[in-house]
Homo-oligomer: A and B are copies of this chain.
Amino acid sequence: MAAGQLSQEELDEIYAFAVDLGRKAGKLLMERVDQRISGSEGHSQKFEEKDNSVDIVTQTDEGKQGSHNTIYPNAHGIIQTSSNLFPAPSRPNTQITSSSDSFLQHFRANNARFLGEETYAKGESRDYLIDEQPTWCIDPLDGTVNYTHLFPMFCVSIGFIVNHRPVIGVIYQPFQDQLFSACSGRGAWLNETRQLPLIRNPSIPPMPPNAPAQCIFSCEWGKDRRDIPDGNLSRKIESFVNLASELGSRGGKGGMVHGVRSLGSATLDLAYTAMGSFDIWWEGGCWEWDVAAGVAILLEAGGLVTTANPPENIETDAIEDVRLGSRLPAGPSDTETGRESQERTVREVWRRVRQLEYSRPGA
């Protein structure tokens, strides 16, 4: 069994389905973009604000998960088709219809659930939303702010999780027709032709000896912009500045990373880390659908994903493979294994970052 109760063959089938779904949904996003560019919508596209002016839901976003305000019959159709895969009676907006397709029947028998931003009701639960069951974790439009401004870093993000571990990831950027994908046991790929990380021949380069120096550090400013002393924004900035400042500065915390990059999409940050473009990604406060696909791709590319918040003892506490966090693929050097060089880098990041305090609604 490649991933819990699913065989490699079953995973491969689900993977092919997910790649196809990602491309189809991305095509619909681009149709909407073309409508905006051609002016057939004028300036009238509505962007409904959620918590604050950074957190928006577009009509496309809602339409694609089957809400009442469906703009795209086709997108709705795609999600209806795929909702055959997601029998989740407890999730109010998810529809279950019958299908004669034997694959879908087969797959439904595995009792996969569906989790997405629009099916999660605000304040619904304090708990983490993933358990050991096979679960689709989908954001039909990730990087919504980028989408509204037509910055090409938006995508369809499809993750499939088994036993808490994302085992299939599909990220499709329709503006540049760029596909990141991975399936447990099959490697991680760019456009289904270039294996990730890109540089792996004759071997994946190890982390730099003086990491985080020489690393590209990826981070996001996020939507929590409250100007609170010692709040998350302030802690983030302090952490960013520690990583960016010249070596030896800031009481030894200066990390002199090679570059600081912010794209506005967590799942794309993870995809570019899998590619090897970024070496370190550090973030807090993500939802499962923000990262599931990216984590699947990064893990399959050999990355390490662990907790962003430093543990009590940075030097000696175990570096556990957990749900969210950061890190890149690395091969061995003459003196250490790839994993050792990854763990060394994680500890160097922990030395420089502040504890972030994000909580689930109601928690």
Using a CB–CB cutoff of 8 Å, the interface residues on chain A facing chain B are 36-39, 42-43, 52-54, 145-146, 149-152, 176, 178, 194, 198-202, 205, 213-214, 216, 221, 225-227, 233, 237, 240-241, 244-246, 249-250, 254, 256, 258-264, 272, 275-279
Closest B residue to A241 using CB positions? B237
The answer to whether B256 touches A53, judged by C-beta atoms less than 8 angstroms apart, is: yes
With A216-B145, A221-B260 in contact, is A198–B246 under 8 Å at CB?
Answer: no
Known: A225-B254, A226-B246. 13 other contacts (CB 8 A): A53-B256, A146-B277, A149-B216, A149-B259, A149-B276, A149-B279, A151-B261, A152-B277, A176-B176, A176-B178, A226-B245, A237-B240, A237-B241
**With A227-B245, A278-B149, A279-B149 as contacts: A259 and B221 at CB distance below 8 Å:** yes
Cross-chain contact B246 with A213 (CB below 8 angstroms): no
16 A–B contact pairs at CB < 8 A?
A36-B199, A39-B202, A42-B202, A52-B256, A146-B259, A149-B216, A150-B275, A151-B216, A151-B275, A151-B277, A176-B178, A225-B244, A225-B245, A225-B246, A237-B237, A261-B264
Interface of A is mostly: loop
Which of A37, A225, A233 has the most C-beta atoms of chain B within 10 angstroms of its own C-beta? Answer: A225
A199 interface neighbour in B53, B54, B150, Cβ under 8 Å: B150
Rounded to whole Å, the gap between the CB of A352 and the closest CB of chain B is 13
Q: Which residue of B53, B176, B198 contacts A37 across the interface (Cβ within 8 Å)?
A: B198
Q: In the complex, are the beta carbons of A261 and B262 less than 8 A apart?
A: yes
Query: With A145-B259, A244-B233 as given contacts, are A201 and B38 in contact (CB-CB < 8 Å)?
Result: yes
Contact, CB under 8 Å: A53 / B213? yes
- Chain B residues within an 8 Å CB radius of A261: 151, 262-264
Contacts of A39 in B (CB 8 A): 200-202
B214 and A227 form a contact (CB under 8 A): no
Contact yes or no, B201 A37, CB < 8 A: yes
Residue of B nearest to A208 (CB): B53
Interface centre among A146, A205, A227, A256 (most CB of B within 10 A): A227
A244 partner residues in chain B, CB cutoff 8 A = 221, 225, 233
Given A202-B42, A237-B241, A244-B233, the answer on whether A54 and B249 have CB atoms closer than 8 Å is: no
Given A146-B277, A178-B176, A258 contacting B53 (CB threshold 8 A): yes
- Given the interface contacts A53-B213, A202-B42, A237-B241, does A258 sit within 8 Å of B149 by beta carbon? yes
What is the bound-complex CA distance between A259 and B262, given in angstroms?
Answer: 9
Question: Are A151 and B246 in contact, CB atoms less than 8 angstroms apart?
Answer: no
Q: Among B54, B150, B216, which residue has its beta carbon within 8 angstroms of that of A258?
A: B54
Please pick, from B43, B151, B254, the residue contacting A278 in the complex, using a CB distance under 8 A.
Answer: B151
Pairs A-B, 8 closest by C-beta atoms = A39-B201, A227-B249, A151-B277, A221-B260, A262-B262, A227-B245, A225-B246, A145-B259
State A226–B245 Cα separation when bound (angstroms): 6
How distant is the Cα of A213 from the Cα of B49 in the complex, in angstroms?
13
Q: Is the CB of B53 within 8 A of A214?
A: yes
Measured between alpha carbons, how far is A54 from B217 in the docked complex, in Å?
13
In the bound assembly, the distance between CA atoms of A258 and B276 in angstroms comes to 28
